[in-house]
Chains A and B, each alone.
Chain A
Amino acid sequence: MHQPQKENIVFEDLFSLRNLFDPMVIDIILVHRGSCSSSVDNLYSPSAPAAGPADETVIERWVVQYDCPRFIATPSGADACVSYKKIYKKSIILLRSLYTQMRLLPAYRIFKQLSSLSQTYNFDLVYKVSSFSHPFSREEESGMKEYIFAPVEALSGCLSVSVTYRATLSDFNLEPLVSLPPKIITDYVGSPTTDPMRSFPSSDKGAHATSFPLRGARPPSSSPFQRPHSWSSGFHRGFPSTKTQSLAGSPPVYRTSPKPYDIASPPTDLYGNRIQNQRVSTLQQVTAYDEYKSSPPFSPSASPSTPSYLSGTNPLRTRHCSETAPVTIPLPLTGRSTRYLSPNSSDPSRHSLPPLSPRSSKHDASSQESPSGIRSYRKIEALRAGESPSGLSNNYSAQKVVRDSKDDSGRFSALLSSSGSPRIGFSRSSSRLSFQDDMDDCEFSCPFDVDDVDVSDSSSQNTEGKKASEFTAQSNLVGKKSHDAAVGILVHMLRTAPPLRQDSSCYSTHSLRTEYEGGVSIASGFFMPRKTADALEELNSYREMKDLLLSKSGTRVVRKEEIK
């Protein structure tokens, strides 16, 4: 009766008695395990048998009996009602006194101790219900007291309750078990409700903090993930810990307001948001190129990570700050092209491009910088030396940092196509020649797939592209290998643009001159109806860009007109 769940069992035992008039004896037994070292073991394996013998002592014995007299007087009428009320009154008083008495007995204090979950003890309380009981020994009786409740005389019998209990339990060594001191879990990973963005402190094992946001987490590059979360999603698995990070994700402040560019085939990977951010952030790298209005679709790095903020050590940013390269970027025929094709709108310093990255800084997983960014440096430098038009080089450099989720290299063809029909086409052969070294280094690919932008004036663009290819060819003649690579990549970028792709089948690997002439002839075959003035203006811009690059590299510009 000390526990509610046991009360139900008591009732079941009552009904299971053969004879309802047999006494029901409820023994409250104290199971006491000796206090020894084994008690500590029991703490960890409470179900295991105690090492020492467990003493069982009856500390309370309740006897409930319903005596049935031989002669049962059954009142009737009003007497019955009065009788039932009296029986009810007396039963209620008996129940109240029983309720109070139970809490005054010593066993109740033990019951309360066991009920508290704060500690574990070396004893336990069990009960036994039976219709007979073993009499107590004299020794046991000496330490026990008895109280008999006033019987309640019912119509058909007499209900009597009595209790025999131990007056004191101080003889038993009832003590809580020794528990281990609380141990602080230093590498506690928490529950699924834990903030997933929380970073965990490094432990002595060398595990480093790793934060796993819902998407695009950027684990520390120096630490591999050591403790997987069972509740975390699989995004963190196979997480390239040292994958180079993309550029900053926060939208930087632009000199010119970036506009949402119409991308024919925007990257639709999971990191679309970051693409936007990276795109925006990358644009900041080329902020010097003020005329760049339409932000190219920069694809994120291959590593599924949030764009890391570019530190001051980022060479791209550093170089960007050191030199302003106001290279205009060719745009589609949307009316904005003239704006971008006029390099004069910007200060001369904008024509300068950031210096090339070191040759050794290849696409390396251990590099802290984005390989696309590194590659872009090479391309940019190649452009500078390769007499590329300012706008094209700007486009090239801007595009090179674009990545998609598939590969590290950037694809610029889609950029060009998305931004419209490029005005310049490059010789494929020349691009390939200069492209070889870069291809050896990394898997160069364009950021976007080939789109289906139908460019009507691709022919004129091809003409200009061929002219640019001549410039790149010149750069090759000048030729450091890195320059050739940059030019080659630029050429490839321009070549894979939609209008250029249509001419791709016409491109072939020839000598520079031959290619140039062929390109011109081919380009002429794909003349698209457009304003001549626009085309000439674009060509002029590219020429100026080329001049600038060559002037810096000390190469004399050879123009088409001069050749002719």
Chain B
Amino acid sequence: MNCEVCQLKELEVEHFEIREVLRCILHTIVFHRALGLVRPKDVDLELFEITYVQCGDVELEKKIDEKIDHFISWVEKHPNKKSQICLSFYEVKSKQPSWFTNKTERLYWEQWYINLNVTQHPKHHSSKSHHTKLVVDPGESATEERSSRRAMVEASLREVLFQIIKFVNEKKDHVPPISEGVIYFPYEITIPSSSDSAFGMDMIKRMLHSGHPTMLS
């Protein structure tokens, strides 16, 4: 079974937008992969005029929020860095134990890479800021810049969501059959680790399991 990989469009977000953006994207993906009985719940974003859908599962929401918290803490330690969050769906296969493998094996059949570029947007600028060539009123320009930037992020996020829907619609054959009583496919969310070396090891592990080169920015 192939592992389908979807690289989502990079989003340039600010620190305070990380949580909402990640929640939106992760829940949207899981909603398309939780093919059991769910009770959809519409959630309106506060920062953007976007409504996404959750599965209505409290446990799922809690897990995703924990991962987002870990990611935010990592971003705080590594500011102004491009980061990637990987949402992987796998199957658990039992395998004969060997000397270097475990009894159970995860067969990833789908991976979603959420690319984020967390920027620390400069706050109130002086007239010497390179962002504003012509300073009429720093307050007004900052407000307009902020609103335009917000609109851009909203449009990008909407595009990402459309991308997810398109990917979900186009590729369905790799999705394992639905087991009776099972709501979610097993999944895991991988965030960059604190150390680059460990992060590199995680990527190597992923490559070994999936057999596909992962694209890192």
* Binding stretch for chain A, among B87-95, B127-135, B137-145, B172-180: B172-180
Residues of A contacting B32 in the complex (Cβ-Cβ under 8 angstroms): 93, 96-97, 100
> Are A100 and B28 CB-contacts (below 8 A) given A85-B177, A149-B169?
yes
Chain B, range 56-110, C-beta contacts under 8 Å to A? none
The winner among A88, A90, A99, A103 for most chain B CB atoms within 10 A is A103
Which residues, 195 to 233 on A, are CB-close (under 8 Å) to B?
Answer: none
Q: Which of B49, B165, B170, B178 contacts A100 (CB 8 A)?
A: B165
> In the bound complex, what is the Cα–Cα distance between A93 and B35 (angstroms)?
7
Most buried by B among A82, A96, A103, A150: A96
Q: What is the CB-to-nearest-CB distance from B169 to chain A, in angstroms, rounded to a whole number?
A: 4
Q: Are A150 and B169 in contact (CB under 8 A)?
A: yes
Q: How far does the alpha carbon of A97 sit from the alpha carbon of B32 in the complex, in Å?
A: 7
Q: Are B175 and A93 touching (Cβ within 8 A)?
A: yes
**Known A-B contacts A85-B177, A85-B178, A96-B31; A103 and B53 likewise in contact (beta carbons under 8 Å):** yes
Is B169 within 8 A of A104, CB to CB?
no
Contact string, A430-465, partner B, CB cutoff 8 A, digits 1/0? 000000000000000000000000000000000000
Contact B178 A88 (CB under 8 A): yes
Residue B162 lies at the interface, judged by CB distance under 8 Å to chain A: yes
Q: A99-B40, A100-B31, A104-B158 in contact; A93/B51 too (CB < 8 A)?
A: no
Is B42 in the interface zone, CB < 8 Å from A? yes
Q: How many residues of A contact B (CB 8 A)?
A: 21
Interfacial chain A residues near B53, Cβ < 8 Å: 99-100, 103
Which residues from chain A contact B168 at a C-beta distance below 8 Å? 93, 96-97
Q: Is B21 an interface residue (CB 8 A)?
A: no
Cα of A357 to Cα of B113 in the assembled complex, Å: 102
Q: Give the contacting residue for B162; candidates A93, A104, A109, A112; CB below 8 A.
A: A104
A89, B162: Cβ atoms under 8 Å? no
Does A558 sit within 8 A of B, measured CB to CB?
Answer: no
Given the known interface contacts A100-B52, A100-B53, the answer about A89 and B169 at a Cβ–Cβ threshold of 8 Å is: no
Nearest A residue to B42 by beta-carbon distance?
A: A103
- Are B172 and A90 interface neighbours, CB within 8 A? yes
**B207 interface contact, C-beta 8 A:** no
Residues of B within 8 Å of A559, CB to CB, are none
Q: In the complex, A108 Cα to B51 Cα: how many Å?
A: 9
B-chain residues with CB within 8 Å of residue A108 when the two chains form the complex: 51
Q: How far is A93 from B31 in the complex, measured between Cα atoms in Å? A: 9
A89 pairs with B35, CB closer than 8 A: yes
Determine whether the beta carbon of A103 is less than 8 Å from that of B52. Answer: yes
- For residue A86, which residues in chain B have a CB less than 8 angstroms away from its CB? 177
Flag whether B161 is at the interface (Cβ < 8 A): yes
Q: State how many angstroms separate the Cβ of A100 from the closest Cβ of chain B.
A: 5
The residue that B177 contacts in the complex, of A89, A93, A150, with Cβ under 8 A, is A89
Give every chain A residue within 8 A of B161 (Cβ-Cβ): 100, 104
| Bound complex: CA A86 to CA B173 (Å) | 9
Q: Is the CB of B169 within 8 A of A94?
A: yes
Minimum distance in angstroms from B3 CB to a CB of chain A:
18
Report which of A96, A99, A101, A109 forms a contact with B49, defined as CB distance below 8 A: A109
- Asked if A92 is at the interface of the complex by the 8 Å CB criterion, the answer is yes
A51 to chain B, nearest CB (A): 31
Shortest B140–chain A CB gap in Å is: 22
CB within 8 Å of B: which A68-118 residues = 82, 85-86, 88-90, 92-94, 96-97, 99-101, 103-104, 108-109, 112
> Would you give 23 A-B contacts (Cβ < 8 Å), ordered by A?
A82-B177, A86-B177, A88-B178, A89-B35, A89-B172, A92-B35, A92-B178, A93-B168, A93-B175, A94-B169, A96-B35, A96-B168, A97-B32, A99-B53, A100-B31, A100-B32, A100-B52, A101-B162, A103-B52, A104-B161, A108-B51, A112-B51, A149-B169
Q: Interface of B with A (CB < 8 Å)?
A: 28, 31-32, 35, 40, 42, 49-53, 158, 161-162, 164-165, 168-170, 172, 175, 177-178
Q: A94-B169, A108-B51 are in contact. List 16 more A-B contacts (CB 8 A).
A: A86-B177, A88-B178, A89-B177, A93-B35, A93-B175, A96-B32, A96-B35, A97-B168, A99-B40, A99-B53, A100-B28, A100-B52, A100-B161, A100-B164, A104-B51, A109-B49
